[in-house]
Amino acid sequence: MLIGLIIIILSISIDQITKILARTLLPLNGPDVVWIPGLFEVSYHQNPGMSFGALEGQQLLFMIATIIALGLFGYLFKDSDYKNKKVYSLAIAFFIAGTLGNAIDRALYGYVIDFMHFPFLDGLLNAIGLSNFYNNWADMFLSAAIVLFAIDLFILDEKRKKELKKRETTPQSE
């Protein structure tokens, strides 16, 4: 549990520090600052909605969804076990950190600070009807959490169940 709390605190710190830097150093809706051509750019944006700007201005809905999500993630966090369920535990810590990182922005500013842009994804997003998007570390932690949670649920959990079943059916030597 301590490892999970450390990961959550570090992740929220990374998210909030980089958002402060973006807010302080970059002009609002200014031109992209290219760090790695075609791969990574930064530009400061205020997102009053959720992913891709959806549900703009629905602060009460976001607050309720955040409370429900944190309740669920907190419940799952009690099963964190960095010795036997590393991927699951990391996923839950990232779910909590990402949710809290964006909730802090909404509480302080009424919007989420976004600043990272990955231009190599633009063609794919445009093909499915989504415009260019900007995100932040909290969003990245949430995306990683989804992938890690799916890996644990569909691959690693099955392996744990098979191993447990194998141990239960194998005679114990005394």
**Region of poorest pLDDT, from 6-15, 50-59, 64-73:** 50-59
**Region of poorest pLDDT, from 20-24, 76-80, 134-138, 162-166:** 162-166
In the predicted structure, residue 164 carries a pLDDT above the cut 80: no
| pLDDT value, residue 162 | 81
Nearest C-alpha neighbor of 22 from the set 127, 170, 135, 128: 135
Give the model's confidence band at 163: pLDDT under 50 very low, under 70 low, under 90 confident, else very high.
confident
**pLDDT higher at 89 or 124:** 89
In the predicted structure, residue 174 carries a pLDDT above the cut 80: no
What pTM value is reported for the model? Answer: 0.85
- Residue range 53-64: mean pLDDT, rounded: 72
Tokens of 39: 């791969």
| pLDDT value, residue 35 | 94
Tokens 């997003």 — which residue? 125
**Cα-based distances in Å from 144 to 28, 88, 96, 108:** 27, 11, 12, 25
In percent, the amount of the chain with pLDDT more than 70 equals 92
In the predicted structure, residue 53 carries a pLDDT above the cut 60: no
In the predicted structure, residue 29 carries a pLDDT above the cut 60: yes
- CB contact at 8 A, 46 and 109: yes
Give the model's confidence band at 54: pLDDT under 50 very low, under 70 low, under 90 confident, else very high.
low
* Cα(26)–Cα(23) distance, integer angstroms: 6
The residues annotated with a catalytic role in the active site are 114, 139
In the predicted structure, residue 58 carries a pLDDT above the cut 80: no
- Residue range 63-91: mean pLDDT, rounded: 92
Give the model's confidence band at 122: pLDDT under 50 very low, under 70 low, under 90 confident, else very high.
confident
